[in-house]
Amino acid sequence: MGMNVYVFFVFCICVTSALPTSCGSFEDLQPTCSFLAPPARSSSTRGTIIDISHTYREDLPSFEEDDGVGVVIQLVASIANGSRANQSFLKMGVHTGTHVDAPSHIFQEYFDSGDHVDTLDLYALNGFALVVDVPRDTNLTAEAMQALNIPNGVERVLFRTLNTDRRLMWKKQFDSSYVGLTTDGAEWLRDNTKIKLVGIDYLSVASYDYLIEAHVVLLQNKDIILVEGLNLDNVAVGLYELHCLPLKLLKSDGSPIRSITAVYVKDVLSCNLVATLC
């Protein structure tokens, strides 16, 4: 929300399991999914890398702003003007573009206790993640969450929504009609899954009408990490290996991140108890 790069760059890497690139519903997944460690990778398993973070540009939307982020990088020393080297200054909020939220973003007591981005759980930020296509006619309500049939055992989920279809992250003016979690949707996710990381394709995981309430639900126990502003334009529904490393910023309630997906030609993970994904 309002929520992430000064040359502050975080690395999020999603590596696809050699699952098909076109997937339907997840109803064919068994109710329990236990992930096994992927085998060692060789050069023969490497494929295309897809960047799922947005470029930090002047017309990138900014929360509740009409004119976008504005100038992000300013050249303060230039070889052309006689300096020994080029040097730029980076100016932006920590909740700009693709970014993560810390518990201190919403709770003053967590801000006072130091629950900032430098304390986020690296285990939660790294591991297998499910990219889910959300029905285009709804916010992320409890009913919508239940209908997605997210398998037991999934700990990280990235929601691809109508926001992607509408290309909202490519429009300078902030749009409050974006799709996000309602309060009951956030409660359902917290109470009925083991999810530790939630990602979405606009500036807030919470819908505008439930902005604070849904954030409170997800961040109050400090065990769910929010990743916002993802670029899921070219990411198929499926299971990925996600690596997300926020900048180690002291006393910061958020951080910009760099997210990429690396597509693998061969299977790189096994999930026992899964019959088929697609």
User: 214 φ, ψ to 5°?
Assistant: -70, -35
> 70-124, pLDDT tens digit by residue?
999 999 999 999 999 999 999 999 999 999 999 999 999 999 999 999 999 999 9
DSSP output for 161-225: -HHHHTTGGG-SS--TT---B-HHHHHHHHHH----EEEESSS-SB-GGGHHHHHHHHHTTS--E
- Residue 277 inside a domain? The answer is no
Q: How far is Cα 255 from Cα 119, in angstroms, rounded to an integer?
A: 12
> 115-164, pLDDT tens digit by residue?
999 999 999 988 888 999 999 989 999 999 999 999 988 999 999 999 99
- Residue 142 inside a domain? The answer is yes
- Residue 278 inside a domain? The answer is no
Highest mean pLDDT among 6-10, 24-28, 231-235: 231-235
Q: Say which of 95, 105, 215, 243 is annotated catalytic.
A: 105
- Residue 125 inside a domain? The answer is yes
Whether the per-residue pLDDT at 278 is higher than 90: the answer is: no
Q: How far is Cα 277 from Cα 29, in angstroms, rounded to an integer?
A: 6
Tell me the sheet residues that pair with 140: 181
The structure's pTM equals 0.80
pLDDT at site 52: 84
Instruction: Give the CATH number, domain containing residue 95.
Output: 3.50.30.50
- Residue 112 inside a domain? The answer is yes
DSSP output for 57-71: -TTS--TT-SS-S--
Q: How many domains does the chain have?
A: 1
If you average pLDDT over every residue of the chain, what do you get? 81
List own/partner pairs for 103-106 with CB under 8 A and 24 or more apart: 103/219, 103/220, 103/222, 104/253, 105/1, 105/3, 105/215, 105/219, 105/253, 105/254, 106/212, 106/215, 106/216, 106/219
**Active-site residue flag, 54:** no
Q: Could you list the residue range(s) of the whole structural domain that residue 67 is in?
A: 11-272
DSSP class of residue 76 equals E
